[in-house]
Amino acid sequence: MKENNLHIQNTLSRKKEKFEPLAPPFVGLYVCGPTVYSPPHLGNVRTFLAFDIVNRYLRYLGYRVRYVRNITDVGHIANSEGEEVDRIGEQAKKENLEPMEIVQKYTLDFHEVTHIFNMLPPDIEPTATGHIPEQIEMVDRILKNGFAYERNGSVYFNIPEFAKTHDYGKLSGQNIEEQHEGYRELDAQDEKHDVRDFAIWKFTDETHPMRWNSPWGEGVPGWHLECSVMSTKYLGQKFDIHGGGMDLKFPHHECEIAQSLGADGTEPVRYWMHSNMLTMNGQKMSKSFGNSILPRELVSGEHELLDQGYSPMTIRFFMLQAHYSSPLDLSNEALKAAEKGYKRLMEAYKVIQTMPLRDAKNVTDTDKEVNDTIDGIFVEMDDDFNTPKALAHIFELVTVINSYRDNRPEYAGVSKATMERLREVFTATINDILGLKVEETADDNTVDGLMQLIIDIRQNARANKDWTTSDLIRDQLDALELQLKDGKDGTTWTRK
Ligand code: AMP
Ligand code: ZN
């Protein structure tokens, strides 16, 4: 196990806390997965990427992580107005498909997207439909404890009753009275006693294709229930980290806490983590706002708001340039800058893999500076997974790599051992922690081949003292911002 001083911003305490796993080396990580009724948009990608970094860094530190990320394939999803919508059922009607066909279609889509963006798969990916008996049992316990009531075959969590003895709203920092605001008024048809009450079991009639038998008649579980059930089933009554996008803090996660306390008198989660939203022109990216960009649109560039396409790793790099808890705005300018930065990074990555390392005659202070920069990566990752600051150190190392390759005298005093360490850490940070990889396209291979041809022609020209041809090659490459470097081991090329 590597030494670590990892601090995580716990949403519940609003403080950065030193992370100590409950049962080391085992770390339980639960992340709310997608509702599979539409293809994931880039906002969803941002959140899953944030927790991919958490998963990857914990593993890098030597922990054994059990990463559970669910698939919401049934349930009435409460929106921020307190209304409950059957998104999968509605989409099935729109596409004239069975709900389970919708679920299958968009689960496959989701897996493809996580694969394209090089996210590690979860260790367990449970579905809500696979855990109906456990959800029914939990409803039953909540009812028995007096925190829920039944009405016409549906069961509602009783917030006013719960709030008499518990602090409902503590995760999102809202007081119970404020929660009335923003909610629509109840009308005569409403079964709820209070607008803040939420369904934990919902009656569905025979026209509804997804329904299960229960002590209260046929119906479906409420959305918040699945995460309470599945997180504790696979991670235990008390587990380390629960994550999700910031928009899930309320009501979803607040309701999870209420359900666990209501059913079992326990709060299972030790660290709550919430990732911030991806915005587009300042507005949260969301299907319902009509400003969502699908990953494949961003890659192909086929979207009215995009000037061009960007590779998946460029997009991943772009997202890592912001801290997960800060908002991030998507724009053409920012993506273009990310494209440049990413290329520069990966060129240095390729160089360090094969660059010959030299023994230093006199080790100078620069050697210590390089080691401090390497250490800086971990200092920043330990500080609540600060990827933008870790990347800043990595770019300092890019300068070191390029200068060392060019035999710049300032770096003559860096020892071979330090350069070996740099190679090892740089490679592990890029591949294992940040999950970035070289994107070899057919184009790249062709360019490499053509550049080798040009280098050979120039070599011949020089051997024949044909300076006109060799100068012409150099000037033309210069105009294309490509640079040749003559070294002991032959000529190489880089982009400027
Ligand atoms: P959903 O499928 O809508 O339940 O969302 C799946 C995950 O994506 C949840 O954790 C959401 O909080 C998150 N999410 C949704 N929209 C955005 C956004 N614009 N930026 C970041 N995360 C988002
Ligand atoms: Zn959830």
pLDDT tens string 72-106: 998 666 555 556 778 898 899 999 999 999 999 99
- Give the tens place of pLDDT for each residue, 100-145: 999 999 999 999 999 999 999 999 999 999 999 999 999 999 999 9
Residues belonging to the chain? 496
DSSP string, 127-148: BSGGGHHHHHHHHHHHHHTTSE
Checking if the pLDDT of 175 tops 90, the result is no
* Domain endpoint, select from 208, 241, 275: 275
Residues whose CB is less than 8 angstroms from the CB of residue 270 and which lie 6 or more positions away in sequence, other chains included: 10, 22, 238, 239, 240, 241
Distance 47 CA to ligand 1 centre (A): 6
Closest CA to 411 of 375, 372, 369, 356: 369
Using DSSP's 3-state secondary structure scheme, residue 239 falls into: strand
Structural domain includes residue 150:
no
Q: Which residue has the tokens 């150190």?
A: 393
Distance 58 CA to ligand 1 centre (A): 23
What is this structure's pTM?
Answer: 0.89
Residue of 313 and 84 predicted with greater confidence: 313
Whether 51 and 100 map to the same domain: the answer is: yes
Structural domain includes residue 193:
no
- Kindly identify the ligand whose nearest atom is closest to the C-alpha of 289: 1
Structural domain includes residue 320:
yes
Distance 330 CA to ligand 2 centre (A): 26
φ/ψ (deg, to 5) at 154: -110, 155
Angle at 233 between CA 229 and CA 239, to 5 degrees: 95
* Total domains present in the chain: 3
Structural domain includes residue 357:
yes
- Give the tens place of pLDDT for each residue, 28-47: 999 999 999 999 999 999 99
Structural domain includes residue 323:
yes
Average pLDDT over every residue of 348-376: 96
Checking if the pLDDT of 442 tops 70, the result is no
Structural domain includes residue 186:
no
Average pLDDT over every residue of 335-341: 97
DSSP string, 352-416: HHH------SS--HHHHHHHHHHHHHHHHHHBT--HHHHHHHHHHHHHHHHHHHTT-GGGTTS-H
Instruction: Give the burial class of 318: count Cβ atoms within 10 A of its Cβ; 0-12 exposed, 13-18 middle, 19 or more buried.
Output: buried
Instruction: Return the percentage of the chain with pLDDT > 70, whole number.
Output: 94
Q: For residue 69, is it left (φ>0), alpha (ψ between -120 and 50) or beta?
A: beta
Each residue of 438-453: b (16+ CB within 10 Å) or e? eeeeeeeeeeeeebee
Ion ligand 2 residues within 5 Å by Cβ: 32, 227
Name the closest-CA residue to atom 11, ligand 1. Answer: 245
- Given a contact cutoff of 8 angstroms between Cβ atoms, the answer to whether 107 and 127 are in contact is no
Distance CA 309, CA 20 (A): 42
Distance CA 77, CA 82 (A): 9
Distance CA 58, CA 241 (A): 11
Distance CA 332, CA 239 (A): 40
| Element of type H or E holding 150 | strand 148-151
Structural domain includes residue 167:
no
User: What secondary structure letter does DSSP report for 222?
Assistant: B
Whether 355 and 416 map to the same domain: the answer is: yes
Q: Which residue has the tokens 């190679």?
A: 423
Distance 246 CA to ligand 1 centre (A): 8
| Element of type H or E holding 161 | helix 159-165
The CATH number of whichever domain residue 354 belongs to comes to 1.10.730.10
Structural domain includes residue 260:
yes
Whether 285 and 267 map to the same domain: the answer is: no
Whether 91 and 132 map to the same domain: the answer is: yes
pLDDT at 449: 82
Where in the sequence is the domain holding 320, given as residue range(s)?
280-433
- Give the tens place of pLDDT for each residue, 253-287: 999 999 999 999 999 999 999 999 999 888 999 88
Residue type, 237: Q
Using DSSP's 3-state secondary structure scheme, residue 491 falls into: strand
Ligand 1 binding pocket, CB closer than 6 Å: 32, 34-35, 43-44, 46-47, 244-245, 247-248, 277-278, 284-286
- Kindly identify the ligand whose nearest atom is closest to the C-alpha of 41: 1
pLDDT at 496: 73
Whether 414 and 475 map to the same domain: the answer is: no
Each residue of 246-263: b (16+ CB within 10 Å) or e? bbbbbbbbbbbbbbbbbb
Closest CA to 32 of 2, 75, 94: 75
Distance CA 158, CA 83 (A): 16
